[in-house]
């Protein structure tokens, strides 16, 4: 599994995940939207930490500019 998420992309994913968690904690949305936001936040955090995004692999995209 080659890393396909670059450092700027990782930071953006973590900021977006933090924003989603913030929305859930302050009850901006409720019900199914809370669950969806938490799942999206979890996915963003995991893909940021491992540096691999399955969707990028399917689309043939990568933001990691290091040579492999």
Spell out the alpha helix ranges (H) of 1-68: 7-25, 32-50, 54-59
Q: If pLDDT is split at 50, 70 and 90, which confidence band does 66 have?
A: confident
- Count the Cβ atoms, other than its own, within 10 Å of residue 37: 19
Per-residue pLDDT tens for 27-50?
A: 887 889 999 999 999 999 999 999
* CA 43 vs CA 9, 54, 66, 68: distances in Å: 14, 11, 23, 25
Instruction: Please tell me the distance from the alpha carbon of residue 9 to that of residue 65, in angstroms, as a whole number.
Output: 11
> Which pTM does this prediction carry?
0.87
Residue with structure tokens 């938490």? 38
Structural domain boundaries in the chain: 7-59
Per-residue pLDDT tens for 6-32?
A: 999 999 999 999 999 999 999 887 889
DSSP, res 66:
S
């Amino acid at each position: 599994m080659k890393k396909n998420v670059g450092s700027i992309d990782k930071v953006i994913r973590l900021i977006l995940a933090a924003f989603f968690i913030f929305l859930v904690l302050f009850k901006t949305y409720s019900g199914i939207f809370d669950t969806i936001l938490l799942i999206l936040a979890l996915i963003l955090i995991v893909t940021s930490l491992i540096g691999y995004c399955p969707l990028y692999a399917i689309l043939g995209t990568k933001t990691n500019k290091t040579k492999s």
